[in-house]
Amino acid sequence: MDIGGTFTDVVAYDERDGRYRVGKSPTTPDDLTRGALAALSPIAPRAEDVSFLVHGTTQGLNSLLQRRGARVLLLASTGAAQTYHIARGPRTRMYQLHYRKPEPLLPLRDIVHVNGRISAEGEEITRLDEDAVRRAAALFRRGGFTALAVGYLFSCANPAHELRTREVLREELGPEVAISLSHETANEWREYERTSSAVAESYIGPTIRGYLGRLGAALDERGVTAPLHVMQSSGGILTADSARDRPLQTLLSGPVGGTMGGVALAGQLGRPEVICVDMGGTSFDVSLVVDGKPDVVPEVRLDGLPMLMSAVNLHTIGAGGGSVAWVEAGGLRVGPRSAGATPGPACYAQGGESPTVTDANLVLGRIDGDRFAGGRLPLRTDLAERAVCALGARLGLGTSAMAEGICAVANARMAQAIRTITVARGIEPRDFTLVAFGGAGPMHAVFLADELGIGEVVVPRFPGAFSAWGMLQTQIRRDLSEPYFRHGADLDGAHMAGRLSELAEVGLGSLDSEGVPPHARRAEHAVDIRYAAQEYTLAVPLSHAGEPAEPGFLDLVSKRFGQVHESRYGHSNPGAPIEFVTLRTTAWGDLGHAEPERIPESHGPVAVQHERSVTFDGRAWDTAVLHREDLAAGHEFDGPALVVEDTATTVVPPGHRVTVDEFGSLLIQGVLA
Amino acid sequence: MTVDPVTVEIIRNALAAAAEDMNATLIRSAYTPVIYECGDCVVALLDERHRVLGQSAGLPIFLGNLEACTLATEQRFGREVWQPGDVWILNDSYLGGTHLNDVTIFGPVFAEQELAGFTATRAHWIDVGSKDPGGSMDSVTIFQEGLRLGPQKLVAAGQPVPGVLDTISTNVRFPYPTSGDLHAMIATINTGQQRLAEIVDRFGLAAVRAAREEIFAQTERLERAVVAAIPDGVYRAEGCLDNDGIDLATPIPVRLTITVSGDHMEFDLTESADQTEGPINCGAAQAVSACRVGYKLLVSPDVPGNGGSFRPMSVRVREGSVFGARPPAACQWYFSHLGLLIDLVAMALAPVLPERVAAASHGDSMIVQCSGTDPRTGREYVSLEATLGGWGAWQGSDGESALINNVNGSLKDMPIEVLETRFPLRITHYGMRPDSGGPGRWRGGNGVIREYVALHDCTLSLWFERSVTPAWGLFGGGGAQPPEVVVNPGRPDERRVLKVNGLRLHAGDVVRCMTGGGGGYGDPAEREGLAVLADIRDGVVTPEHAATVYPHADRAEQPEWQVDTVPDPVY
């Protein structure tokens, strides 16, 4: 289940017949469980039939973005208590004289300083002032706080003070009070980023826990006995019980499903390099699958606030169906402003007068106004035409040319954004396959691919519910880390191997509570390395926990780091001294996942429902309209064509050929004229 | 030829994206953190008349000064000097404007058999062979500041010019990373050449040129409309740098006169100080850039820069002044008076742009450099930090506290955990400096206090500025506190310093650095009582200070929790 801002999508995999079913229902913001159950019931009417349930939610993210989280009291080291507000002090918009930092999740007055200091080497310099902790507890009680976070200097080197602080707080406030310790939320150095992570975890924790509790109870009530799982930002899943302990990991839970779907599709198609584009009403998310793996980063920024957690690298661009076309100083502009859901595009007939990308598509005939969103929201072509025509009059363009111009500019902007992301990673987009999903993705995908010189576009089945589908394709994942600052020359390989083994033991052991049988568990290890005196690190994979103890390890890992550096930055520095910074272990648990469903083979030609006039390149084309559900494996047809389904429309311009593969994906390639 | 508005917009986006791609290439392939972490670099795509088609700046201060380099080259050698496959290098302060560490690499782009434009990039090199590693705080001539290259051909028709690379390598302290950065910069201009050629290929040179004129015209229209709305008049502002770092007793005046006439404004810097012995001079190109930053902050903060930008403004610089350095003036710290100048632009125009300006900021980089040998490892180290400070308030908002100065862009402070792990130093206090922001209806942001303890003997160098002209307020708002640095506070050997080169510190010595705040905006008597109370509770303003500057506000409620103030040093 993907519980999004507007709709809740459910994809069900039937283990008996290997088929998928899709349900959709409006999200019910007052009580999300209602919308979720409404979408679930029609496709899984018998609760006892549900053997596995995973869902993604934007609950935590929304409470963070809307600043509706808990009132958090932060305990921080005396002498460095205001670090959370100093926030390292960069100005990210350089020509903005009226610059304000991202709004922190708590005011300065809600930070209490506690004496006690650990050195860089992890030795206690000053004892923890437990009286100060007790005074903080008293303040918590009378101050109306609902959660605590603790962020002490060098807790990553020695957590004793943070652990003792929790004991004292529990003595004072009872066992139920919510406390995040920075070294548990993010066991890495850099006090601001670690504290920011702990504060965010406390901030969203009560919302997430309350929500998971309600959803769990509602499912129980309906007789669903299968454990509830939650998608994590990293692309793995956890049981709801674990997610309650580590709510931070659920922050990007929703959109990440799409990337994991892209990973699964990459495997199915045998194409390991994939660019995933998810285009909806207001935003356009791009993520990469490189060598069959999601591009995962160890740190993300949400609303400007850093979070140290493994997360799929999603780039969001302000471009969507709702992007508004406007005139500035006599020139055409498209976006980044969006008409949003209200008033929405002009064709929604909710008072919007500015033409949007959706209006332009409607004018061009690329959307079937009657079948939009499964017919729930009929679109008014006349209003779209009026808005586009008015803009065209200001720029000296006819309605149709204006509409095509709006789409062309929007496509060019999206394509350039993708290119810049790939250039920054040293990737050539031509070598990739473009996977398009979301409501508007399949409408624009072929145009984006053509701009980027990408040879193949894939539109998966259920493109509107692809994130939910992706969630069924992933595994239990637990990430552990430990600071390990050493110059390369000072390496004690046996020691490093010992630490990794311990991390593996903890990580694999934690899979007990996830219900993973022992034979389905495995651990992956990596160490973050950098050239001496640089700040940024790269994760270098290790073959197993014992590898650092093997002879010649330092040379080997230096070379391996050089290779990773070369591919990331385009050069390496052979022979230069390296530094180890962080050890990372990921524990995986395979609960078995849904197999791809093969669709029936075609017997005979594609059924064309009707033809309609659609504008491409300034000319009206008679265009075949096909229904997605009529397509069978092996079907082939040429553009111009529209493939219509409830949640999306795939636009195939002239000069492109579509092949339907055995899993029902549309593979679209350019054909030479 | 005319081009339809859709094509114009697609070309406009493509040119901007080409610059982004160049920037991504540079950041991705640079060897030194000052480029790929601090973003001390800029890239630009220029047309055949040296006008900006697209650019991406890591530091605002680099805004629009790459064209000065291609233009200077053409003026010196003639237009026929541009040949396909050539790459040039230049770091001359008097041409490029900044210090010798900022190296510009550029080359012509040919399409359809003619000169279609240029691509250029500038980045900070960690060392160019100055008398002290990395640069000096007390140079008095450019000959102490390193290797100086005029426009010099580096690559001819795709082949390296023999000897040039060797000359560079033998004159810098870190040849390996330096040559890595040089090659990254060449890769960057190649990316730009490729992208520009692709755009010309797709649309045709004539269409790109026609679109370019329309794009410039759009930007010019936007900016002229803003300038035209400013009442005609002569607007002045002035301030002082503390000194030039050599003669510590003589302040250096910076005087700005802006004349607005119709839809044009002139920035006149000619009354500013003569060039100085110490290294606070810059070339005229950099003075132009700083005026452009000040202009952009007020006129067009959201409009991407291109050849139509800045048409409604001009700059007058006097040769032989701190803004128009003549050889052999020292230029290593070329930016301190530029930061002041940018604040002065807002001060001058405040009477007529009250809703766009802001009061002054703390204004400079506030550099702390420690060096020595780390006894834990036996390795030599140099720690170099810029210190955050307060920014000015504006109509409707308090100024931001603890923010990097304008000239340093998006630089971050160094985490205590990183600093203490890497260097034998301890931070005993890092927090906001209460009361340092100027009072006002909207108050200025606070500076910070950052206190170091030397765990072993080491050497300290400092460059703290703006004590003579600390951040001023606007419209009745008060001024901010100036920076202060106290070595060994409360001890018999306590001393106050702001600029110092190579001061010996012994184990246990304490250095308490305090940066200035930002200025306030509007009469403090109009500040809401609740806001004053909130400031007291947050420890932003002390109750005593509030009693003085906000006597109208109710201060009955004291902070519920003891604010984190500077403790006794921990040894």
Q: Distances from the Cα of B207 to the Cαs of B8, B11, B212, in angstroms?
A: 9, 9, 8
- Whole-number mean pLDDT of chain A? 91
Q: How far is CA B557 from CA B534, B537, B538, in A?
A: 10, 8, 12
Name which of A95, A99, A426 is nearest B28 (Cβ-Cβ). Answer: A426
Mean pLDDT of B55-84: 90
CA angle, corner A279, sides to A435 and A666, nearest 5? 35
Question: CB neighbours of A479 closer than 8 A, spacing ≥ 6?
Answer: A234, A236, A309, A310, A584, A585, A586
B556 has a pLDDT exceeding 70? no
Percent of chain A with pLDDT over 70: 98
Residue B8 pLDDT > 90, yes or no? yes
**Beta carbons of B4 and A156 less than 8 Å apart:** no
Answer whether A439's CB lies under 8 Å from A279's CB: yes
For residues A120-129, give the mean pLDDT: 96
Q: What is the distance in angstroms between the Cα of A397 and the nearest Cα belonging to chain B? A: 8
Examine the pLDDT at B569 and tell me if it is beyond 50.
Answer: no
Percentage, residues of chain A above pLDDT 90:
62
Q: Which has the minimum average pLDDT: B239-243, B384-388, B552-556?
A: B552-556
Structure tokens at B94: 């008097």
DSSP code string of B119-185: EEEEEE-S-S--SSTT--SS--SGGGS-----SEEEEETTEEPTTHHHHHHHHSS-HHHHHHHHHHH
For A403-430, write each residue's pLDDT tens digit. 999 999 999 999 988 988 888 888 889 9
Whole-number pLDDT of residue B126:
85
pLDDT the model gives residue B484: 97
Rounded to two decimals, the pTM is 0.92
Q: Where are the beta strands (DSSP E) in B415-556?
A: 425-432, 448-454, 458-463, 484-487, 495-496, 499-505, 510-514
Q: Where are the alpha helices (DSSP H) in A453-552?
A: 466-471, 493-510
- Confidence grade of residue B570 (pLDDT, cut at 50, 70, 90): very low
- Residue numbers in B near A74 (CB within 8 A): none
In the predicted model, is pLDDT for residue A535 greater than 80? Answer: no
A97·B298 Cβ contact <8 A: yes
**pLDDT per position as a tens digit, A225-281:** 888 999 999 999 999 988 998 899 999 888 899 999 999 999 999 999 999 999 877
Domain borders along chain B are 5-221, 358-571
User: Which of the pair, A578 or A318, is modelled with greater confidence?
Assistant: A578
Number of A–B residue contacts, CB under 8 Å:
231
Question: Is it the case that residue A350 has pLDDT exceeding 50?
Answer: yes
User: What is the percent of chain B with per-residue pLDDT over 70, rounded to a whole number?
Assistant: 96
pLDDT over 50 (residue B571): no
> Which residues of chain B have a CB within 8 Å of the CB of A87?
402
- Residue among B187, B356, B421 whose CB faces A485 most closely: B421
**Could you read off the pLDDT of B525-552 as tens digits, one per residue?**
999 999 999 999 999 999 999 999 999 8
Average pLDDT over residues B472-479: 98
Distances (CA, A) of B130 to A101, A199, A540, B136: 37, 46, 37, 7
- From the CA of A122, how many Å to the nearest CA of chain B? 10
- pLDDT for the residue B565: 62
Average confidence score pLDDT of chain B = 92
Chain A contact probe: residue of B376, B387, B417, B532 with most A CBs at under 10 A:
B417
- Do B390 and B480 touch, CB atoms closer than 8 A? yes
CB neighbours of B75 closer than 8 A, spacing ≥ 6? Answer: none
Higher pLDDT, B422 or A549: A549
Give yes or no for residue B564 having a pLDDT over 70. no
| Rounded Cα–Cα distance for residues A463 and A475 (Å) | 22
Q: Which of A88, A405, A419 sits opposite B21 (nearest CB)?
A: A419
Inter-chain CB proximity B567 and A78 less than 8 Å: yes
Contacts of B339 in chain A (CB under 8 A): none
Chain-chain contact of A97 with B357 (C-beta, under 8 angstroms): yes
Least confident range from B31-35, B156-160, B298-302: namely B31-35
| Whether residue A143 has pLDDT greater than 60 | yes
Q: What is the mean pLDDT of residues B101-115?
A: 94
**Average pLDDT, integer, range B344-372:** 96
Mutation pick from A78, A85, A95 vs chain B, by most beta carbons of B within 10 Å, is A95
Distances in whole angstroms, Cα of residue B160 to Cα of each of A269, B87, B163, B183: 45, 9, 9, 11
Q: Is the pLDDT of residue B225 over 50?
A: yes
What pLDDT is stored for residue B558 in this prediction?
A: 54
Q: How would you label A473-506 residue by residue, b for 16+ Cβ within 10 Å and e otherwise?
A: bbbbbbbbbbbbbeebeebebeebbebbbebbee
Q: Could A423 and B214 be called an inter-chain contact, meaning their C-beta atoms sit closer than 8 Å?
A: no
**Of the partner residues A86, A190, A571, the one whose CB lies closest to the CB of residue B448:** A86
Confidence band of A593 (pLDDT split at 50, 70, 90):
confident
- CA distances (Å), origin A140, targets A164, A173, A252, A414, B411: 17, 9, 30, 48, 36
DSSP character at residue B444: P
Secondary structure (3-state) at A266? helix
Q: How far is A619 from chain B (nearest CA, A)?
A: 16
Is the Cβ–Cβ distance between B121 and B185 less than 8 Å?
Answer: yes
Could you give the count of Cα atoms lying within 13 Å of A538 in the half-sphere of its Cβ? 21
Least confident of A285-299, A438-452, A591-605, B41-55: A591-605
Asked whether the beta carbons of residue B404 and residue A87 sit closer than 8 angstroms, the reply is no
Q: Which of B180, B429, B537 shows the shortest C-beta gap to A79? A: B429
Which residue of chain B has the CA closest to A109?
A: B538
B293 contact residues in A (CB cutoff 8 A): 95
Question: In chain A, what are the domain boundaries?
Answer: 1-45, 52-251, 254-283+318-474+593-673, 477-589
Chain A residues in contact with B429 by the CB 8 A cut-off are: 79-80
Section A172-191 average pLDDT: 94
Q: Write out chain A residues lying below 8 Å of B346, CB-based.
A: 97
CA separation for the pair B42, B60 (Å, rounded):
9
Strand partners, A436: A277
Which residues in chain A are contacts of B219 at CB distance < 8 A?
Answer: 329
Nearest-neighbour CA in chain A from B492: distance (Å) = 24
Question: Given this model, what pLDDT does residue B381 score?
Answer: 85
Q: For B267-291, what is each residue's pLDDT tens digit?
A: 999 999 999 999 999 999 999 999 9
CA dist A162 → A3, A172, A187, A315 (Å): 35, 15, 12, 35
**In the predicted model, is pLDDT for residue A33 greater than 70?**
yes
Question: Which carries the bigger pLDDT value, residue B136 or residue A259?
Answer: A259
CB-count burial class (<10 Å; 0-12, 13-18, 19+) for A170: middle
Residue B479 has pLDDT above 70, yes or no: yes
**List of chain B residues whose C-beta atoms are within 8 Å of the C-beta of residue A106:** none
Beta strand extents in A389-537 (DSSP E only)? 433-437, 456-459, 476-487, 521-531
Q: Which of B403, B563, B394 is nearest to A92 (CA)?
A: B403
What pLDDT does B566 receive? 57
Q: What is the pLDDT of residues B66-75, one digit of tens each?
A: 999 999 999 9
Q: Which H or E run includes B343?
A: helix B336-349
Question: Does residue A2 surpass a pLDDT of 90?
Answer: no
Q: How does residue A340 score in pLDDT terms, banded at 50, 70 and 90?
A: confident
- Cβ contacts (< 8 Å) between A331 and chain B: which residues? 5, 8-9, 12, 214-215, 218
| pLDDT at residue A338 in the model | 86
Which of B201, B388, B542, B564 is best to mutate for the A interface (most A CBs within 10 A)? B564
In this complex, the residue of A89, A112, A423 whose CB is nearest that of residue B21 is A423
**Nearest-by-Cβ selection for B33 from A108, A424, A535:** A535
Cα B295 to Cα B313: distance, rounded to the nearest angstrom: 8
User: Among partner residues B14, B28, B301, which is closest to A96 by beta-carbon distance?
Assistant: B301
Which residues of chain A does B388 touch, with a Cβ-Cβ cutoff of 8 Å?
Answer: 86, 89
Token pair 């826990």 is found at A209
| Residue B213: half-sphere exposure toward Cβ, Cα within 13 Å | 9
The nearest alpha carbon in chain B to A136 belongs to B561
Minimum Cα–Cα distance from B191: chain A residue: A423
Radius of gyration of chain B (CA): 25
Question: Nearest by CB to A153, which of B219, B416, B564?
Answer: B416
Q: Select from B5, B215, B358 the Cβ nearest to the Cβ of A395.
A: B5
Residue A387, SS3 per DSSP:
helix
- The shortest C-alpha distance from A407 to chain B (Å) reads 10
Q: For residue A568, what is the nearest residue in chain B, using CA coordinates?
A: B28
Please list every residue in chain B whose beta carbon sits closer than 8 Å to the beta carbon of residue A120.
417, 420-421
Could you tell me which of A466, A330, A427 has the C-alpha nearest to residue A24?
A466
In the structure, what pLDDT confidence band is assigned to residue B568 with cuts at 50, 70 and 90?
Answer: very low
pLDDT at residue A318 in the model: 77
